[in-house]
Amino acid sequence: MSVWLERLSRGFTEAESSQIQAEIFNVKGLQLELDSLSTEHLQEGLIRMAPYRLKYSGSLRHGRVESWQQANSYVAEKIQANEAPTWQDILNLNALLTNQVKSEIRTKPVYLGPFEACPPEDLALTLQHFERDILTNKAQLDPLIATALCQYWLVSLHPFEDGNGRTSVLLSDWLLGLNGYLPMSFDTKLDGMVATLSSDRVSATPGNAVLKLLTNVQRSYRLVLNDA
């Protein structure tokens, strides 16, 4: 197993597992509260949530509102059709977000701040593992955990030249929506989702990534319920 596969495939610690189960319980409780809202109050809450959806996306900062909206529409249509995402869908999302006709796997190194992401020569193997064992093998996991792991792998590998973070966010929204959950809302970037191999930085573990997603999902519910 490569170093990257080993790093990304780590299991949860006992403490992480306990906290994850508690936070999943909280999300499901918030979902029950949401189900009791009137249509009017739900619409008001979704409007209240909207600015926090865009905080991370980078769309406004880079003048990419149209591409962000197009990619969101793509996800919404797939959720409506009850279609699970494939690797080709991820390529399509990245192409929409970066205004390309076709998205391709990067062939050059990229850096997450001062840290190098997965080297190009290792991407083929790691992405094969991601598609086979993470993206298409989610049924055995709680949907919230499965969503977080998909996002964690994708944003950590950084397989594209651009738009990796936004692509991973919309992949998560898609998986959350298929399972009846609200999308994530943000107050910071996704730094806690990214795994690196540097000993100089406290790398996110899969458990950290799950907890971060659960926090971001709960933020959406609290915004909609006016309990932020």
Strands (E) across 67-226 are located at: 111-112, 115-116
How far apart, in whole angstroms, are the C-alpha atoms of residue 111 and residue 119?
10
CA distances from 114 to 2, 109, 117, 227 (A): 22, 12, 10, 38
Closest CA to 31 of 180, 172, 142, 184: 180
Strand partners, 112: 115
Q: Can you tell me the distance from the alpha carbon of 138 to that of 133, in angstroms, rounded to the nearest whole number? A: 8
Closest by Cα among 171, 208, 204, 188 to 52: 188
Is 158 one of the catalytic residues? yes
- Concatenate the DSSP letters of all residues of 13-42 into one string: PHHHHHHHHHHHHHHHHHHHHHHTS-HHHH
In terms of C-beta density within 10 A (0-12 exposed, 13-18 middle, 19 or more buried), how is residue 157 classed? buried
Q: Check 41, 62, 129, 158 and give the catalytic one.
A: 158
In whole angstroms, give the CA distance from residue 63 to residue 91. Answer: 21
For residue 190, the 8-state DSSP code is S
Q: Which residues are catalytic?
A: 158
